[in-house]
C-alpha cells in the first residue's frame, strides 16, 4: 500500500493542481491513499495569509470523493502554519470541519522565512537555533496530528544543525501529546540527499519512544505526487517506525 499524506491543491495559495487530476495520477502510479493538506496561514507576511477557504475546499473534495468510490481512499487535511500562535483559529477549524488529519508546520519565525536574504543574514546555526525554539513552542501547544517537515530550514540551507538535548525535549512534548513525525520528501526535489527528517533525527525520535510516521511528498503539482515516497518508506522501516494514515483524526495502519 502506498500513501501520500501531504498534498497541496488549488485551494492552497501556491498551487493550481486539481484534486481530480491527483486522483487520476494516483491511479497511474499505483498510490492507494491520498490526503489533501492545503495551507492555512495566518502570518501576515505569508503570501497565503487568510487565503484558505474550508467551504470551497470541502465542496471540491466531496465532489471528487463521491465520484471516486472506493478505488482510491481520499482524506481531508490541512497544513496549519505555526499552530501555537493561532490556536483558537486551529481549534475552530478542526471543530467546525470534518478533517481527517492536521499537519502542524513552522514556516515563519516572526517575519523571518529562510529565503536567500535571510540566509545571507543568519548562519544555519543561528537560524536553526531560532527555529527549534519555535518548534518547541508549537509541540508544547499541540492541537495537530503530525509535525510537518521537522528540519524545514534544510530545504533552503541544505544543511542541518541541532542539539540532541533540544531534539529530546521536542520529541518528549510531541509524544506526550500523542502527536507524531511526518517524513516529507520535498527536500529531495530541492537537491537534498535526505528527506525531512533524515536518519539523524529519526534515530532520536525512535530513542524517545516514537513509533509512527506519516509520509508525504508535499506536492504542489500533479507531477510531484508520490515523489520519492519509497525512500521515506525504506527509511521508516530501517528505524522500525510504522507508517500510518489518519482518518477522523485517528491513526490507522497503511495496510488497512
Residues that bind Zn ion (CB under 5 A): 79, 105, 218
- Least gap, CB of 12 to Zn ion (angstroms): 8
First to last CA, the chain: 9
In which element (H, E) is residue 236 found?
Answer: helix 229-238
93 vs 172, which CB is nearer to Zn ion? 93
113 vs 173, which CB is nearer to Zn ion? 113
- Least gap, CB of 204 to Zn ion (angstroms): 21
- Least gap, CB of 148 to Zn ion (angstroms): 5
4 vs 218, which CB is nearer to Zn ion? 218
218 vs 243, which CB is nearer to Zn ion? 218
CA–chain centroid gap for 246, Å, is 13
25 vs 185, which CB is nearer to Zn ion? 185
- Least gap, CB of 39 to Zn ion (angstroms): 7
Non-local CB neighbours of 28 within 8 Å, separated by 6+ positions: none
Asked if 11 and 51 touch (Cβ cutoff 8 Å), the reply is no
Extract the C-alpha cell encoding 49.
Answer: 495569509
Query: From CA 223, how far away is CA 159, in angstroms rounded?
Result: 26
- Least gap, CB of 153 to Zn ion (angstroms): 12
Extract the C-alpha cell encoding 139.
Answer: 509541540
Query: From CA 95, how far away is CA 197, in angstroms rounded?
Result: 30
75 vs 206, which CB is nearer to Zn ion? 75
- Least gap, CB of 146 to Zn ion (angstroms): 12
> What string of H, E and C letters represents the secondary structure of 101-135?
EEEEECCCECCECCCHHHHHHCCHHHHHHHHHHHH
Amino acid at each position: 500500500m502506498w500513501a501520500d499524506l501531504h498534498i497541496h491543491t488549488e485551494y492552497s495559495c501556491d498551487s493550481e493542481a486539481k484534486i481530480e487530476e491527483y486522483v487520476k495520477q494516483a491511479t497511474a502510479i499505483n498510490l492507494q491513499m491520498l490526503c489533501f493538506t492545503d495551507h492555512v496561514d495566518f502570518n501576515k507576511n505569508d503570501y497565503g495569509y487568510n487565503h484558505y477557504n474550508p467551504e470551497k475546499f470541502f465542496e471540491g473534495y466531496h465532489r471528487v470523493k463521491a465520484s471516486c468510490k472506493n478505488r482510491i481512499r481520499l482524506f481531508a487535511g490541512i497544513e496549519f502554519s505555526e499552530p501555537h500562535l493561532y490556536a483558537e483559529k486551529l481549534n475552530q477549524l478542526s471543530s467546525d470541519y470534518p478533517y481527517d488529519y492536521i499537519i502542524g508546520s513552522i514556516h515563519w519565525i516572526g517575519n523571518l522565512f529562510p529565503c536567500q536574504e535571510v540566509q545571507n543574514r543568519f548562519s544555519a546555526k543561528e537560524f536553526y537555533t531560532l527555529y527549534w525554539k519555535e518548534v518547541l513552542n508549537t509541540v508544547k501547544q499541540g492541537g495537530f496530528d503530525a509535525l510537518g517537515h521537522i528540519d524545514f530550514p534544510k530545504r533552503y540551507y541544505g544543511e542541518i544543525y541541532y542539539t540532541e538535548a533540544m531534539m529530546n525535549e521536542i520529541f518528549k512534548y510531541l509524544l506526550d501529546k500523542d502527536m507524531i513525525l511526518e517524513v516529507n520528501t520535498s527536500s529531495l526535489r530541492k537537491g537534498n540527499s535526505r528527506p525531512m527528517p533524515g536518519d539523524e533525527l529519526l534515530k532520536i525520535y525512535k530513542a524517545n519512544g516514537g513509533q509512527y510516521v506519516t509520509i508525504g511528498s508535499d506536492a504542489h503539482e500533479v507531477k510531484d505526487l508520490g515523489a520519492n515516497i519509497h525512500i521515506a518508506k525504506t527509511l521508516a522501516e530501517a528505524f522500525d517506525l510504522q507508517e500510518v494514515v489518519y482518518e477522523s483524526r485517528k491513526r490507522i495502519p497503511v495496510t488497512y
